[in-house]
């Protein structure tokens, strides 16, 4: 497992990905009773493990695919064994997902019960369509107040731009000002470094102390980096906002299952209802395939009474 971590870090995998891959590899080893080294197992054994996840554990298709990716990494990059596409496990059924969406009145009621920094973060999820971790990892340099844009580093390390809602701007400006003061204090105490992607850290060794690279939502306390052991201020834990949103939904009397991702779904659906082009929405949401964006057409409010027939503009 130390070797797995070493290779993951050599390839600059995210810490969360490292944790996930290590978890799946451990489960794979334990599945065979810790009696065999992975190099002594093969495609048929991978099939057994993945099929068990689908048939007995009944995991989602995305979870089974995540386990497969972890094992492919183990064999290809760590053990240097080519498995290829020889594995044909029992596949988990891909269930059609209809996103949970809140109406405008429900959103207003929800925000009455969220306060402070959590209210600002939730405003970015709903007002800009950010994913939870995109919001948590947002850096000061990524906010363009003049052009009312947010530059987001999303899945697959792909950049995109999304809108910055007017009501959020003054609140966010005041918040960034306080974060800047906090960073100045950290520098005076001999801290002030922030985590940087390894390649950028090597190229710009002083950038980690610059204000622009600091997290918009920093943690309250300085802590040791789990990989390097360097003491610095990380971003806030996502669990705080998750709890705040669930608590607010309960207090607001919303019976739907509300999560942080529900706010992103609601953003997309409302934008479609307001007439945005679906391709533009795809870019704003950071979807690789427009089919993902089209899911929201099934839950949007299609008011046929507002539509006009093409015949209305003709004299016949």
pLDDT-derived band of residue 311, with 50, 70 and 90 as boundaries? Answer: very low
| Interval 17-42: pLDDT, tens | 999 999 999 999 999 998 889 999 98
Phi first, then psi, for residue 150 (nearest 5°) are -125, 130
DSSP code of residue 155: G
CB neighbourhood size of 302 (10 A)? 11
CATH fold group of domain 2-78: DNA polymerase; domain 1 (1.10.150)
d(CA 195, CA 193): 7
List the catalytic residues: 131, 155, 261, 264, 287, 296
Q: Which residue has the tokens 């940087």?
A: 196
Sign of the CA dihedral 103, 162, 283, 17? negative
The pLDDT mean for the chain works out to 89
Global confidence as pTM: 0.81
| Domain regions of the chain by residue span | 2-78, 104-298
Instruction: With a cut of 70, say whether residue 312 has pLDDT above it.
Output: no
Instruction: Note the pLDDT of residue 88.
Output: 62
Tokens encoding 295: 């899911």
Q: What is the tens place of the pLDDT at every residue in 263-288? A: 999 999 999 888 888 999 999 999 98
pLDDT surpasses 70 at 87: no
> The tokens of 297 are what?
């057409």
Strand order through the sheet with 159-163: 143-144, 149-153, 159-163
Reported as a single tens digit per residue, the pLDDT across 171-184 is: 999 999 999 999 99
CATH superfamily of 104-298: Intergrase catalytic core (1.10.443.10)
């Amino acid at each position: 497992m130390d070797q797995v971590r070493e290779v993951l870090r050599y390839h600059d995998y995210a810490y969360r990905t490292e944790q996930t891959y290590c978890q799946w590899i451990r489960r794979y080893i334990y599945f065979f009773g810790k009696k065999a080294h992975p190099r002594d197992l093969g495609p048929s054994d991978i099939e057994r493990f993945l099929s068990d996840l689908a048939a007995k554990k009944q995991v989602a298709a995305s979870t089974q695919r995540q386990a497969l990716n972890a094992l492919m990494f183990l064999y290809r990059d760590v053990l240097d064994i080519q498995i290829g596409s020889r594995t044909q496990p029992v596949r988990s059924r891909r269930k059609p997902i209809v996103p949970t969406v809140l109406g405008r009145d429900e959103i207003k009621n929800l925000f009455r019960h969220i306060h402070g920094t959590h209210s600002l973060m939730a405003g970015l999820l709903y007002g800009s369509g950010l994913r939870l971790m995109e919001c948590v990892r947002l850096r000061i340099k990524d906010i363009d107040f003049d052009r009312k844009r947010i530059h987001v580093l999303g899945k697959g390390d792909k950049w995109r731009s999304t809108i910055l809602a007017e009501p959020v701007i003054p609140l966010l400006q005041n918040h960034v000002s306080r974060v800047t003061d906090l960073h100045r204090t950290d520098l005076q105490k001999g801290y002030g470094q922030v985590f940087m992607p390894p390649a950028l850290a090597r190229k710009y060794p002083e950038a980690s102390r610059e204000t622009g690279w600091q997290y918009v939502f920093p943690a309250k306390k300085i802590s040791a980096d789990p990989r390097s052991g360097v003491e610095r201020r990380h971003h806030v834990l996502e669990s705080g906002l998750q709890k705040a949103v669930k608590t607010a939904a309960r207090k607001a009397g919303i019976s739907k299952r509300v999560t942080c991702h529900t706010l992103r779904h609601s953003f997309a659906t409302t934008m479609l209802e307001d007439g945005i082009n679906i391709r533009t929405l795809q870019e704003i949401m950071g979807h690789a395939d427009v089919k993902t964006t089209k899911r929201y057409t099934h839950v949007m409010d299609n008011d046929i009474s507002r539509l006009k027939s093409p015949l209305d503009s003709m004299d016949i």
